[in-house]
Structure 1
Amino acid sequence: MFQQTAVLDGHELPERACSDQAQGDWAMAGSLRATPELQALHALPLWPLPTLCLLLGCFAAFGLSAYGMVEGWMPIPLGIIINGLAIYGAFTPLHDGTHRAVSRNRFINDVISTASGQLLLPGCEVAIYRILHLAHHKTTGEHHEDPDEPATRSLSGFWLYGIFLEFYWVHWYLKRFSQWSAAQNARVFLGSCLMASWYAIWIASPWALECLLIWWIPQRIGAVLILYAFAYIQHPPGVEQRAYPIRATGILRPNKWLGPLMLGQNAHLIHHLYPQIPWYRLEAGWRATEAQLLRRAPPIRGYWGGWGQDAFPNTETPWRWVRVAATEDIAQDIRLFTFESASPSPLPIYEAGAHIDVRLEPGVVRQYSLIGRPGTTGRWQIAVKREAGGRGGSIAAHARLQQGTLVEVGNPRNNFPLQASAGRHVLIAGGIGVTPFISMAYALAAKDFALHVFARTPAHVPFGQAMQRFPFAARIQLHCDDGKGFENSEIADALGPYRAGDRTYLCGPAGFMERVEAVAATAGWPAGAVVTENFSPLRPSRPEAPFTIELARSGRRLRVEVGQSIVDVLEGERFSVDTVCRQGVCGTCRCRVLSGEIEHRDSVLTAAEREEGNQILLCVSRGAGNGLLVLDR
């Protein structure tokens, strides 16, 4: 008989578009993005008082210091330091403005951020710096691709990069000149000319020495401080965000003296995951996500010294050999597999919600959640549902994994953790989706929870009647429809009325989860209180089909084929598109829709925003139906 411990998700997870580590990181970031805490942190004011105060304070300090140096009452060394710090501080609104995280009004956002950048990059508008900075976000840690990578590689490279910053950026851009549109190249050329003219005018003027002391030396100091605070101590060299989104950027240990000077960048990881959170809310973002993100092992360091070895992840999943100790059919087409260590080393403990990679055949790796009481050692268990129309992984598992078979598995990882909550926990499963909730039920034994299992018949429920032997059996309720379909009222009864602090967890087929989410929204459950297990962007609610977009400002129409994203098509036509994660999590590529039906697949838009139907995340979402999707571009 199977061991009555805990069952975690036993169904196959969706195929990944990128590495499993990256997909898991973005999945966790996406689920956290939908919580009420992070939704509130993303809500931008029209007039950002903290940012305006910072900007005015920096300009006032710079102006007063410069005046004092000219008049002779400000010691030159002190004036240089003050001006350098002012330039460093004024960079933060420019930095936020590249992600439109200053104001909810785009015009105000760009005016404030452009003005703030003039002390560091005179003549440069935020649109130009946005090109460089978003490239850094997309390619963090990639040699020759990340424009800020030289500042993280070594101390000598950091100093050279700081001194010759503008020259390096121009060189980086020119190497990619052909990939940009003519309009963007003209814009960058004009901005570069304005900056060069600024230098030339001051060098040729009678006040060249004053300019050197008042602005150029402080500007170099400010640039070095910016590179140190925003790059050198933030990114472990060579760790690529494309592969390790949560490990490519660090968190700084608290320091009561230096912390305030960081202007929120001691939580720089939050900026890279959620770039539209403004600087003065980054630390609040870390506090709201710390417990969950720590499970993904982000690098944590101090303000000085180098990176510890734990900041550099292994490039491969650490594999281990296990032996199939037993198998058992526990429902129709569902088989339970019990693993034991094939070496003297015991299998490590894991949390409720953890899953492992299983190498079924060369080149065939699938992910299954673990079965067993969280925190215990000894054996691991997984449950696999045989899917005749699947990708072949479940069929290979049922055919190959026999008692005594040796198989390679990865270490446990957790993308579906329980959230801290003082209210009820309602666990709703569709068929095989019950598996993660049995382990959660063990973890929730002392709390108020209920487990509802929806299936076609009792024969389709994993463990079947044996579920009655679990210590929490009194909290389990089975719902069987004999293939006739469930009424929304039955789902609503399972959910119950929402009270502050309540959480609902969903696991099962995508269509089932979408339906439960819709019923929950109708019943008054806020979106942030409904947690689903998402390892990739939302699956389509209908078969993927090609569609056509129209760019309203030019009238041009473009075809988006199956397997392409809107971003792919726009970039193929050399249109500039602001993107970072390309997973529907960060919100950078949000675009206004003037008309057309949208199939949303992101983790950013709220239920209300989706209902309005006038915004789309270009990296993952698609047009639906046969009509034209008209974009405000």
Structure 2
Amino acid sequence: MFHRRAGRSVDRRRRHNRVAVEQVLDNSLARAELPALWRRVEGPTWLVAAAIYGGWLALTWYHHALPWWLVLPLGGWLIGWHGSLQHEVIHGHPTRRPELNTALAMAPIALWLPYSLYRSRHLRHHATPHLTDPLADTESFYVDPARWRRLGPGRRFLLRVHNTLAGRLLLGPALAILAFWREEGARLVRGEPGCAQIWATHVVLTALVLVWVLVVCGIPLWAYVMLYVYPGTALILLRSYHEHRPAADQAERTVIVEAGPLMKLLFLSNNFHALHHERPGIPWYDLPRVYRAERERVLADNGGFVFAGYGDIVRRFLWRVKDSPLHPGQAGG
């Protein structure tokens, strides 16, 4: 059920044409860049960071001059794009100095997620040999059998709705934020080492963001949450919706989404997720080239777990449950 439908000549022609266009674009960019210096300083990542922060400052400043239906996609894009930048920074980009990288990514414009906690959770996700297992994977959306047995019919129904794409986009941000706060709040109450300092830093940084948003720009908190934070978090959940599956083989648990240029830019090529898990140190702007060179090998390794783009995922799963929220095995399976 996870495999892309093959054998249709129209689909083959579309894929061929898209690859050809992307090859031309990549070749043009390669000729235009400053070869040695540009690559050494990871110029594309700095440009993305400048676009995100400059765009966010401009959009919030002119918020009241724009209609809500324009602010919503732009605000959502910038918050989602910032999440992709944070992900890139977690993996050691754009410099070799961790403190400088952290400074570039830690501004909490999404309000709810401390960067340091995202970093620690995400690195544990990469380190686990049991992807998707909720007992071992910090980014699993599945439920272990013991917890599933404790859930009532209403909670089980909600989790099934959450496993449709529509449910993930509409309900997912609220569920993800509340679950994260509940778990981290419990750790804070227990007094686990480092928690108080992390949240104190986050509160200070969030206060600075809110001074700009609420006081300087005069945006109501509800408007910032609904027009920026919520749609931005939903875009991140679109990327992660079918990022992993509980296959028997660890290598076959991570997806490839052959997205178009716009979505690749939004997610900073994290749509090539199987390749990213295999070699997380590759910078985002090199992943498309590496994937094209190794496509057959990557898809053979991940069992053909591939989609033709995010539109393909929308068509298949917008209103349909992609799989059971109950994880089929325990850690080690």
Quote the offset at 1:177 in angstroms. Answer: 6.8
- The alignment partner of 1:149 has SS state of coil
CA contact (8 A) 2:60 2:213 kept: no
May I ask how many residue pairs the two structures share in their alignment? Answer: 258
What is the distance in 2 between the residues matched to 1:233 and 1:224?
13
Q: Secondary structure at the match of 1:129?
A: helix
Aligned equivalents of 2:175, 2:212: Cα separation in 1: 18
Q: Aligned to 1:143, which of 113, 134, 155?
A: 134
Change (3 A) 1:135 1:159: farther
Partner of 1:300: 306
CA displacement at 1:285 relative to structure 2: 2.8
Cα–Cα, structure 1 residues 205 and 64, in superposed 2: closer, same or farther, change >3 Å? Answer: closer
**Which residue in 2 is equivalent to 1:407?**
none
Task: Provide the residue aligned with 1:245 in structure 2.
Answer: 250
Residues 45-82 of structure 1: CA deviation (Å, up to 9, x unaligned): 66321111111112222222222223x2x223212221
CA contact (8 A) 1:80 1:218 kept: yes
What residue is the counterpart of 2:96 in the other structure? 104
Question: Which runs of structure 2 are paired with 1:549-560 in the superposition (5 Å)?
Answer: none
Match of 2:117 in 1: 128
- Equivalence for 1:507: none
Kindly report which structure 2 residues correspond to 1:223-622, keeping only aligned pairs within 5 A, or say none: 223-229=233-239, 231-236=240-245, 238-239=246-247, 244-255=249-260, 258-296=263-301, 297-302=303-308, 303=310, 304=313, 305-306=315-316
Tell me the alpha carbon deviations over residues 478-516 of structure 1, each in whole angstroms, 9 at most, x when there is no partner.
xxxxxxxxxxxxxxxxxxxxxxxxxxxxxxxxxxxxxxx
Cα gap change, 1:75 to 1:263, in 2 (>3 Å):
same
Alignment CA distance shift 1:195-1:166 (3 Å):
farther
Q: Whose radius of gyration is greater, 1 or 2?
A: 1
- Structure richer in strand, relative to its length: 1
SS of 1:148's equivalent in the other structure is coil
Match of 1:278, SS state, is: coil
Instruction: Give the drift of 1:208.
Output: 7.2
Change (3 A) 1:107 1:275: same
- Residues 603-633 of structure 1: CA deviation (Å, up to 9, x unaligned): xxxxxxxxxxxxxxxxxxxxxxxxxxxxxxx
Residues of 2 paired with 1:45 and 1:121: CA distance? 32
Q: Which amino acid in the other structure matches residue 82 of structure 2?
A: A
Cα offset, 1:214, TM superposition: 4.2
Cα shift at 1:147:
3.9
CA 207–253 in structure 1, closer or farther in 2 if over 3 Å, else same: closer
Tell me the residue number matched to 1:50: 44
| Residue equivalent to 2:109 | 119
Q: 1:204 to 1:67 in 2, by over 3 A?
A: closer
Contact 1:249 1:269 in 2 (8 A): yes
Task: Say if 1:46 and 1:105, in contact at 8 Å, map to a contact too.
Answer: no
The corresponding residue for 1:210 is: 220
**Contact between 1:247 and 1:299, CA under 8 Å: does it hold in 2?**
yes
Q: CA deviation at 1:249?
A: 1.2
In structure 1, which of residues 86, 94, 116 is the aligned counterpart of residue 86 of structure 2? 94
Letter in 2 for 1:277: I
Partner residue in 1 for 2:67: 75
Write the mapping of 1:175-194 to structure 2, written as runs, cut at 5 A: 182=193, 184-194=194-204
CA offsets 1:562-621 (integer angstroms, 9 cap, x no match): xxxxxxxxxxxxxxxxxxxxxxxxxxxxxxxxxxxxxxxxxxxxxxxxxxxxxxxxxxxx
Once the 2 structures are TM-superposed, how far is the Cα of residue 105 of structure 1 from its aligned partner?
2.4
Tell me if the contact between 2:77 and 2:266 (Cα under 8 Å) persists in the aligned partners.
no
| Inter-partner Cα distance in structure 2 for 1:64 and 1:150 | 35
Paired residue for 1:422? none
Amino acid at match of 1:299: F
- CA–CA distance in 2 between the matches of 1:91 and 1:281? 19
Change (3 A) 1:76 1:278: same
1:62 paired residue among 34, 56, 64 = 56
RCO greater where, 1 or 2, for CA within 8 Å and sep 6 or more? 2
- Which runs of 5 or more residues in structure 2 are unaligned? 1-37, 143-158
| Aligned partner (choices 151, 171, 174) of residue 163 of structure 1 | 174
Structure with higher helix content: 2
- Tell me the TM-score normalized by structure 1: 0.35
Q: Would the aligned equivalents of 1:246 and 1:298 in 2 still touch at CA under 8 Å?
A: no
Take 2:190 and 2:290, find their aligned partners in 1: how far apart are those partners?
35
1:298 and 1:191, CA in 2 relative to 1: closer, same or farther beyond 3 A? farther
Alignment RMSD (CA, Å) = 3.9
**TM-score normalised over the length of structure 2:** 0.63
SS of the residue 2:286 aligns to: helix
Give the deviation of 1:84 after TM superposition: 1.3
Cα drift, residue 266 of structure 1: 2.4
SS, match of residue 266 in structure 1? coil
Instruction: Please give the alpha-carbon distance, in whole angstroms, between the structure 2 residues aligned to 1:223 and 1:158.
Output: 8
Distance 1:199 1:102, change over 3 A: closer
Name the CA shift for 1:94/1:257 in 2 (closer, same or farther; >3 Å).
Answer: closer
Distance across 2 between alignment mates of 1:195 and 1:144: 32
Match of 1:80, as an amino acid?
L
How far off is 1:95 after superposition?
0.5
**Sequence identity (%):** 19
Distance 2:73 2:227 in 1: 9
Report the Cα offset of residue 120 of structure 1. Answer: 2.0
Provide the rounded CA distance (Å) in 1 between the counterparts of 2:60 and 2:213. Answer: 18
Distance 1:224 1:144, change over 3 A: farther
